[in-house]
């Protein structure tokens, strides 16, 4: 019998700790790192020569929305195909458990509206073989998959389960309602939920256009639910907010963490927003984080390595004309017939002369912001130059920008797209990534499937901020993407290439590492469409010792597990935790 199951030889190992890279071998046995050092190649069942390649831990992504997909799909693409080996889902207060059978449609409309997952795909794909959150975790446990998943307990389903229509209508929770939510949350955490999530943003609406059940939920309700969390169990309170009351919203996290030891985390983007006192909100957030950390209160910002980027066009789920009556009248035609009709001058003039009817929030905000739209380049450019915008190009041609955009969408085979860096289009991104109390996140894997494809933001840290801009060192970046992210959720058994840790590994040809332009596929249940993205330079991804992707192709191995709660550090390395 071989001493090791797999040995990766001669690679430049960036071990996730922040230490300098070194050329050593990595040996794997029984799904764990068995040894890291020189001369380990002898007596292995398989050897991979990584000469000239990087060898890193698998990426840990703490902000995804695979809550539905994980119940029907064994491959958590696009994350698993882009080097991620562990994901946390249930973010932003939305999910599918707990749920009574009478509320299935309510939660489908909620997820369809907030996270833009086609309702038809959810209706066909979800088995609903659960009622409680514990049942839901059991259903996840039954399915084999390629990578590990952990789940937060989402506020909206909890509220609807306890309050019914009163919760949907955002009525104030009574003391009895809160007590029952606390009881159910306690049970869900005991079953393996890794924390609690909620949303207080206007941008989150149901597919009917209504505000979500958690919007304007009282601060008292949130603080009382936060009391159920337990830092000794590694729990996390995740929040997204519009920060109408920055101090009050932040205090929900601060008080939860101070009283329970649980960690707090929230969406931290550079939106250029100012406080009522005229101070940059971003700086105020960083100040609050730093003051909390000094006081022993563990709150961390989740930051994105590039702008929140929307893709719009005829193949996508939305665009500037998608909610105008004359376009909607053609929307269900076969693509070729619709394109032929749209090229008619008569149809064009009708569409351009109309207003959108009940548009998605993304369209209502960006429909005519032509200076923020950029014709999609190949390969995609996530930080485009202002002179390349639709408005700038139309101006150079002496044309109306809206008419220019219409013609751009219908020319050729009708597959042209625009990229909209909708938020976080900022020079401060490297600073935010490097901050000691932030984690790279917000790629939203599994969500916004027809308009956003930011799951590759992990790799973008390497391609843009390490390789191109040299704003981060390689060891800094890998630490952020692996161990630092794992530590937020107390997953101390991963994120490091050290003896005893889970053998989650990426082998990367750094010189060849580049992102492809996202493309549409129709592989969701009921033929639903979504954007996927590939990358060059990912030679192999290994999950728990099994190679799950090799040279961009899935191997069929399904070693992933459901993670129920925090994970202890190996005894040999307890000090790192």
Percent of the chain with pLDDT over 90: 94
The overall average pLDDT reported for the chain is: 96
Mean pLDDT score, 172-197: 98
Q: Which one, of 119, 87, 93, 90, lies nearest residue 104 by Cα?
A: 119
Instruction: Round to whole Å and give the CA distance between 462 and 560.
Output: 25
| Residue 571 pLDDT grade (very low, low, confident, very high; cuts 50, 70, 90) | confident
| Residue 90 pLDDT grade (very low, low, confident, very high; cuts 50, 70, 90) | very high
Instruction: Round to whole Å and give the CA distance between 350 and 145.
Output: 48
Mean pLDDT score, 231-245: 96
Please give the pLDDT value at position 441.
Answer: 98
Please give the pLDDT value at position 575.
Answer: 40
Please give the pLDDT value at position 278.
Answer: 84
Give the torsion through C-alpha atoms of 448, 451, 456, 460, to 10 deg: -130
| Residue 181 pLDDT grade (very low, low, confident, very high; cuts 50, 70, 90) | very high
Cβ atoms 388, 374 nearer than 8 A = yes
Mean pLDDT score, 62-66: 98
What are 385-410's pLDDT values in tens digits? Answer: 999 999 999 999 999 999 999 999 99
Instruction: Round to whole Å and give the CA distance between 237 and 198.
Output: 8
Instruction: Round to whole Å and give the CA distance between 147 and 79.
Output: 9
> Does 14 have pLDDT greater than 90?
yes
Domains of the chain: 6-57+496-557 (2.30.40.10), 60-263+451-488 (3.20.20.140), 309-423 (no CATH)
> Does 101 have pLDDT greater than 80?
yes
Percent of the chain with pLDDT over 70: 99
Mean pLDDT score, 544-560: 98
| Residue 1 pLDDT grade (very low, low, confident, very high; cuts 50, 70, 90) | low
What are 240-291's pLDDT values in tens digits? Answer: 999 999 999 999 999 999 999 999 999 999 999 888 888 899 999 999 999 9
Please give the pLDDT value at position 279.
Answer: 85
DSSP at 140: H
Q: What number of other Cβ atoms are within 10 A of residue 506's Cβ?
A: 26
Please give the pLDDT value at position 576.
Answer: 40
Mean pLDDT score, 347-367: 95
Instruction: Round to whole Å and give the CA distance between 229 and 258.
Output: 11
Q: Is residue 465 helix, strand or coil?
A: helix
> Does 486 have pLDDT greater than 60?
yes
Tokens at residue 537, please?
Answer: 């330079």
Tokens at residue 519, please?
Answer: 């493309």
| Chain-centre distance for alpha carbon 101 | 28
Mean pLDDT score, 533-539: 97
* pTM exceeding 0.75: yes
Instruction: Round to whole Å and give the CA distance between 157 and 96.
Output: 6
> Does 572 have pLDDT greater than 60?
no
∠ CA 489-443-376, rounded to 5°? 170
> Does 557 have pLDDT greater than 90?
yes
Q: Which one, of 83, 77, 106, lies nearest residue 16 by Cα?
A: 83
Select the more confidently predicted residue: 347 or 273: 347
């Amino acid at each position: 019998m071989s001493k090791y199951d797999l040995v990766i030889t001669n690679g430049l190992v960036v071990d996730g700790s922040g230490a300098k890279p070194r050329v050593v071998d990595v040996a794997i046995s029984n799904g764990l790192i068995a040894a890291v050092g020189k001369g380990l190649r002898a007596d292995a069942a398989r050897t991979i020569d990584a000469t000239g390649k990087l060898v890193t831990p698998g990426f840990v992504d703490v902000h995804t929305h695979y809550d539905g997909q994980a119940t029907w799909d064994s491959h958590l693409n696009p994350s698993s195909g882009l080097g991620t080996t562990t994901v946390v889902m249930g973010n932003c207060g939305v999910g599918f458990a707990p749920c009574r059978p009478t509320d299935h449609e309510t939660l489908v409309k909620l997820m369809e509206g907030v996270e833009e997952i086609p309702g038809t795909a959810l209706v066909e794909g979800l088995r609903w073989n659960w009622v409680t959150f514990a049942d839901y975790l059991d259903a996840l446990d039954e399915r084999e998959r390629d990578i590990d998943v952990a789940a937060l307990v989402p506020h909206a389903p909890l509220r609807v389960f306890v309050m019914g229509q009163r919760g949907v209508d955002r009525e104030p929770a009574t003391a009895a309602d809160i007590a029952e939510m606390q009881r159910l949350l306690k049970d869900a955490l005991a079953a393996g939920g890794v924390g609690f999530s909620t949303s207080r943003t206007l941008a989150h609406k149901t597919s009917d256009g209504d505000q979500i059940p958690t919007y304007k939920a009282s601060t008292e309700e949130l603080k009382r639910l936060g009391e159920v969390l337990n830092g000794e169990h590694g729990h996390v309170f995740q929040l997204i907010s519009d920060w109408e009351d920055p101090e009050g919203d932040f205090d929900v996290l601060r008080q939860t963490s101070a009283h329970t030891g649980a960690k707090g985390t929230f969406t931290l983007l550079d939106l250029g927003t100012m406080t009522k006192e005229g101070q940059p909100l971003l700086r105020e957030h960083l100040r609050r984080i730093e003051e909390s950390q000094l006081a022993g209160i563990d709150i961390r910002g989740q930051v994105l390595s590039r702008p929140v980027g929307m893709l719009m066009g005829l193949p996508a789920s939305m665009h500037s004309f998608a909610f105008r009556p004359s376009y909607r009248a053609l929307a269900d035609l076969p693509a070729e017939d619709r394109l032929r009709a749209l090229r008619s001058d008569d149809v064009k003039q009708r569409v351009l002369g109309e207003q959108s009817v009940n548009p998605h929030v993304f369209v209502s905000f960006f429909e005519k912001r032509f200076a923020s739209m950029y014709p999609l380049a190949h390969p995609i450019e996530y930080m485009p130059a202002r002179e390349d915008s639709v408005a700038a190009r139309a101006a150079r041609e002496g044309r109306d920008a809206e008419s220019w955009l219409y013609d751009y969408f219908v020319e050729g085979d009708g597959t042209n797209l625009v990229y909209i860096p909708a938020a976080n289009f900022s020079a401060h991104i490297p600073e935010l990534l490097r901050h000691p109390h932030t984690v790279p996140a917000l790629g939203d894997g599994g969500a916004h499937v027809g308009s956003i494809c930011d799951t590759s933001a992990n790799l973008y840290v390497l391609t843009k901020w390490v390789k191109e801009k040299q704003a981060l060192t390689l060891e800094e970046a890998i630490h952020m993407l692996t161990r630092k992210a794992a530590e937020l959720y107390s997953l101390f058994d991963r994120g490091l290439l050290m003896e005893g840790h889970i053998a989650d590994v990426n082998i990367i040809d750094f010189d060849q590492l580049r992102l492809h332009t996202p493309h549409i596929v129709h592989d969701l249940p009921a033929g639903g469409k979504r954007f996927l993205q590939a990358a060059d330079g990912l030679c192999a991804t290994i999950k728990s010792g099994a190679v799950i992707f090799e040279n961009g192709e899935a191997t069929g191995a399904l070693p992933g597990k459901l993670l129920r709660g925090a994970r202890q550090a190996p005894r040999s390395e307890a000090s790192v935790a």
